[in-house]
């Protein structure tokens, strides 16, 4: 008969937990492998003002995506909340005109524009709300982060798009 002591149970329990975790990852990969797409790349954007900007808060960006998504984009701000410490919270509607179709998303951002020499970092979460062409029915998100300033920004993006 096989008898486990307290000392020999730990490796056995660890082995069982590892096997369960590996099985869960394998099942998740199989279930999502056909429909989930990881995306990554860079974005270069600049501030747009004047009649070209249709934002109710006067904040628009135009730029270009490079990487998994390729093509021009525009962002039209609809919420702009400056804080006393130089941090700005904002929301915008974003459209990326990728070569395979358009992706639309709603973006929530935080910008640090305080004049303290920290290169104006920002972070943004864009939740996908629709698309055309290959991206029709797409869901998901991408996270944008980098450094910006009063005239534009340079950023990286990473995320996941779920295709129907």
- Higher-scoring residue by pLDDT: 15, 83: 83
pLDDT at 9 exceeding the cut of 70 = no
Tally of helices (H runs) and strands (E runs) in the chain? 1, 8
Residue 54: predicted pLDDT: 95
Provide the pairing of β-strand 139-148 with 152-162. antiparallel
The per-residue b/e assignment along 105-122, b for 16 or more CB within 10 angstroms, e otherwise, is bebebebbbeeeeeebbb
**Judgement on whether residues 73 and 124 belong to the same structural domain of the protein:** yes
Q: Which pLDDT does position 152 carry in this prediction?
A: 75
Q: Region of 73 please: left (phi>0), alpha (psi -120 to 50) or beta.
A: beta
Asked if residue 119 and residue 73 are part of one domain, the reply reads: yes
- In a shared domain, residues 29 and 99: no
79 plus 3 within the same structural domain: no
Domain CATH number, residue 76: 2.40.160
Residue 154 confidence (pLDDT): 86
In this predicted structure, what is the pLDDT of residue 162? Answer: 95
Structural domain span for residue 23: 1-34
Q: Which long-range contacts (CB under 8 A, 24 or more apart) does 98-102 make?
A: 98/65, 98/69, 98/70, 98/71, 98/133, 98/134, 98/135, 99/70, 99/71, 100/133, 100/134, 100/135, 101/131, 101/132, 101/133, 101/134, 101/135, 101/136, 102/131, 102/132, 102/133, 102/135
Q: Using 50, 70 and 90 to split pLDDT, how confident is the model at 113?
A: confident
Contacts of 157 (CB under 8 A, 6+ apart): 39, 40, 41, 42, 43, 65, 67, 69, 142, 143, 144
* C-alpha to C-alpha distance for 49 and 46, rounded to whole angstroms: 10
| Residue 159 structure tokens | 């995320």
Average pLDDT, the chain: 82
Q: How far apart are alpha carbons 66 and 39 in whole angstroms?
A: 11
Q: Quick one: what percent of the chain has pLDDT higher than 90?
A: 63
Given pLDDT bands bounded at 50, 70 and 90, which one contains residue 86? confident
Res 15 pLDDT > 70: no
Quote the number of domains for the chain.
2
**Residues 45 and 68 placed together within one structural domain of the fold:** yes
Percent of the chain with pLDDT over 70: 78
The predicted model gives 110-135 an average pLDDT of 89
């Amino acid at each position: 008969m096989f008898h486990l002591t307290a000392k020999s149970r730990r490796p056995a329990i660890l082995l069982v937990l590892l096997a369960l975790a590996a099985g869960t990852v394998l099942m998740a990969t199989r279930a999502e492998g056909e429909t989930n797409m990881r995306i990554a790349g860079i974005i270069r954007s600049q501030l747009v003002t004047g009649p070209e900007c249709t934002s109710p808060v006067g904040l628009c960006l135009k730029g270009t995506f490079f990487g998994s998504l390729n093509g021009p984009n525009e962002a039209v701000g609809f919420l702009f909340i400056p804080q006393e410490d130089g941090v700005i919270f904002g929301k915008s509607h974003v459209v990326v005109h990728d070569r395979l179709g358009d992706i639309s998303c709603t973006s929530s951002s935080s910008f640090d524009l305080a004049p303290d020499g920290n290169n104006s970092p920002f972070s943004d979460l864009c939740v996908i709300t629709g698309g055309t062409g290959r991206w029709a029915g797409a869901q998901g998100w991408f996270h944008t982060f980098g450094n910006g300033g009063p005239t534009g920004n340079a950023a990286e993006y990473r995320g996941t798009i779920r295709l129907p």
